[in-house]
Chains A and B, each alone.
Chain A
Amino acid sequence: MYQYDTYDQAMVDARVEEFRDQVRRRLAGHITEDQFKPLRLMNGLYLQLHAYMLRVAVPYGTLSGAQMRMLGDIADKYDRGYGHFTTRQNIQYNWIKLEDAPDILADLASVEMHAIQTSGNCIRNTTSDQYAGAAADEVVDPRPYAELIRQWSTFHPEFSFLPRKFKMAVIASDTDRAAMRLHDIGIQIVRNAAGEIGAAFYVGGGMGRTPMIAPCINAFVPIDQMITYAEACLRVYNRHGRRDNKYKARIKILVHELGKDEYTRQVEAEFAHLLTQNIEPPLAELERIKGFFADPAFEVGAPDVLDRSDPDFALWVDNNCLPHKQPGYIAVTISLKPVGGIPGDATGEQIRVMADLATRYSFDELRVTHAQNIVLPHVRKADLYALWQVLDANGLSTPNLDQIGDIIACPGLDYCSLANARSIPIAQKISQRFQGREQEIGELKLKISGCINACGHHHAGHIGILGVDRKGTENYQLLLGGCEGADTSLGQITGPGFDEDGIVDAVQRATDFYLSNKQDGERFLDTYRRLGMAPFKEAIYG
């Protein structure tokens, strides 16, 4: 994986000192909270309901064992013993003291990490495919391209005060595991008929209160022009994106209001101009970065069989492990969704356990997934049982990947100052209600947001739940038919909302109807797409 050189390290070190100085000026009263707010936000520090929350960047979701270990130590030293993995492949800590924040950043910098641009109206941490480098279906490893974008977007002087936040994702396979088309810019690295690598640009997607699927505005930007093209996309947005209404300030609204064709025309004109400005890093820089993402030293001829005699292990393998491009290896997803737990939470000790397993069994590498789980990307099948036993002993062996208990949920009203309703208790009740039935129901992606900002991706859930405030009480709307991935679709609201227990009952009526009506091999989503909303609605509302 990527390693800092002296330039990268100097950058994060300078940032620690800058933020230390900003906190000093704030604590001394030299700057107001209003002036401090955008500064702390540029550093991932939010003032939430009960405390400061610090969001740490995990570029394209990739971590080393030492980095993961540090994340566990920070949870114990500065938080209340937990870290929370997020839908943007980051980690956040919910109980941070302002005066500790500079020291935390210094600890992070010691393992080549930071919190730069994890919030604020700037280009956020770039996300990617959690199986990058392991998936059999990728054209190339997408992470070198994401790293190129990370450097370009870090402290970009023109784009640090955009109309609104800006999220980018980079993938390199047709199977989209990063919800690429629901980003401000989604890039798919592709190979054309001539065998050349290029970048397909999808611009103007997003969730939030106005969910939109990004259209493709250029199907093949030559790879040695990718940064220049991104700069053109951003400049048009920075100049013309709406700033009169924060709810209409995302690039998706600009693309929608101008129309895809006019937005594309403006980007192409800006691109033609910027090509004369020599802002593109040379291919030698991409090659340098690629060197860090070469395949690890896989054992040739590693045994390609598993002993499945332990039924609990076999179930977990079937649910949580994915085929690897290298014979004898497998990619493991560790579910952070135990029944009744808080989705995405892990204790400091659990984080260190996962770090040690990565060091011992996965070439020292981990990934955070946008579904709030952890991946060990390169595990020898011969080591899998021993690895599973350690997971099992540490409450990390829940065999529910992509099932109804593998819920994405935002922090909701338990933590977040923007939320209208709690998300976590709903997730807990649903995972408890369906305990023991997950296998029968099969693949079902359930996603919960505690407000319309959609941090819990409810638009993209096969079943989505949106918490709203209805005359002072929490109310939950139900959506069906959302999907991220190559066949991205947005969920539709079923009808009137429910209270806390009613929404759990409604989910059960929907899944019961599915089980009674599914045809051979159909997932919940397939049955919904075949039958449509009407019969589900009737089953739910009677």
Chain B
Amino acid sequence: MAEVQFRFRDDEPVADPGVTVDAFGEQTNAAAVRLEPGDDARDLLPHLDRIRLVEVNFPVFGDGRGYSSARILREAGYTGELRAVGDVLVDQIAFMRRCGFDAFAPDVALDPADAEAAFGRYADVYQPTTDGRAPIWAKRHG
């Protein structure tokens, strides 16, 4: 399992690897679950109170289903760790952050300077998402 390279939270990380969505339904003590692109994030919604870590896997960076999974979880009020794993590249991490990811475990570690530049590139954003940033239209009409 790749190491967590960036983490934007202060709580203690969950040590266990995430179990599959199928296994999660049966293991009532599991606190970590791993979502594959084809999994329906909404299957987790009845169990959010006992989940502390959701790993969302990006087997290839071009498969963007994980972005929707992340937002669906955050929109439902999930406050635990949301970790992007797999083919996580420097030019995707800012989008991921905006969809609610707060931890990143790329298969191949990112250049720290490039990643820092990527996280901070855009001072403002057009859309409200689940990262709490006020969109440009809110600032225009604040």
Q: Which of A's residues lie within 8 Å of B, judged by CB?
A: 5, 7, 10-11, 14, 17-18, 21-22, 25, 30, 35, 38-39, 121, 151-152, 154-163, 235, 238-239, 243, 273, 277-279, 281-282, 284-285, 288
Q: Tell me whether B123 and A14 are in contact (CB under 8 A).
A: yes
Q: Tell me whether A39 and B91 are in contact (CB under 8 A).
A: yes
Question: Known contacts A161-B61, A161-B62, A285-B137; is A151 also within 8 Å of B111 by CB?
Answer: no
What is the total number of residues of chain B having a CB less than 8 Å from a CB of chain A? 36
Question: Known contacts A14-B123, A155-B126, A279-B127; is A7 also within 8 Å of B139 by CB?
Answer: yes
Residues of B within 8 A of A157 (CB): 67, 94-96, 98-99, 125, 127, 129
> Looking at the complex, which one of B63, B67, B124, B141 makes contact with A10 (CB distance below 8 Å)?
B124
Chain A CB within 8 A of B75 CB = yes
Q: Tell me whether A151 and B67 are in contact (CB under 8 A).
A: no
17 more A-B residue pairs beyond the given contacts A155-B122, A239-B68, with a C-beta to C-beta distance below 8 A: A7-B140, A11-B126, A38-B62, A38-B91, A152-B126, A157-B129, A158-B95, A158-B99, A159-B64, A159-B67, A160-B67, A160-B95, A238-B64, A238-B68, A243-B37, A281-B135, A285-B141
Q: Tell me whether B63 and A243 are in contact (CB under 8 A).
A: yes
Residues of A within 8 A of B122 (CB): 11, 14, 155
Q: Tell me whether B64 and A30 are in contact (CB under 8 A).
A: no
Please report the C-alpha to C-alpha distance between residue A154 and residue B129 in the assembled complex, in whole angstroms.
Answer: 13
> Looking at the complex, which one of A10, A30, A156, A162 makes contact with B127 (CB distance below 8 Å)?
A156
Main secondary structure of the interface of B (DSSP, over half): loop
Chain A CB within 8 A of B83 CB = no
Top-9 shortest CB links A-B = A161-B64, A157-B98, A157-B95, A281-B137, A285-B137, A7-B136, A158-B67, A151-B126, A284-B141
Q: Which of B's residues lie within 8 Å of A, judged by CB?
A: 37, 61-65, 67-68, 71, 75, 89, 91-92, 94-96, 98-99, 111, 114, 117, 121-129, 135-137, 139-141
Cβ-closest chain A residue relative to B67: A158
Cβ-closest chain A residue relative to B120: A14
Q: Tell me whether A30 and B111 are in contact (CB under 8 A).
A: yes
A-B contact count (CB 8 A): 95
Give chain B nearest CB distance to A212 CB in angstroms.
23
Q: Tell me whether B128 and A278 are in contact (CB under 8 A).
A: yes
Q: Tell me whether A35 and B67 are in contact (CB under 8 A).
A: no
Please report the C-alpha to C-alpha distance between residue A11 and residue B122 in the assembled complex, in whole angstroms.
Answer: 7
Q: Tell me whether B124 and A121 are in contact (CB under 8 A).
A: no
Residues of A within 8 A of B117 (CB): 21
> Looking at the complex, which one of B65, B92, B121 makes contact with A238 (CB distance below 8 Å)?
B65
13 pairs, CB–CB < 8 Å, chain A vs chain B: A14-B121, A151-B137, A152-B127, A155-B95, A157-B96, A157-B99, A158-B129, A159-B67, A161-B67, A238-B64, A282-B141, A284-B141, A288-B140
Q: Tell me whether B123 and A10 are in contact (CB under 8 A).
A: yes
Please report the C-alpha to C-alpha distance between residue A38 and residue B125 in the assembled complex, in whole angstroms.
Answer: 21
Residues of A within 8 A of B125 (CB): 155, 157
Give chain A nearest CB distance to B63 CB in angstroms.
6
Please report the C-alpha to C-alpha distance between residue A160 and residue B97 in the assembled complex, in whole angstroms.
Answer: 13
Task: Name, among A152, A155, A157, A278, the residue most crowded by chain B CB atoms within 10 Å (CB to CB).
Answer: A157
Give chain B nearest CB distance to A292 CB in angstroms.
13
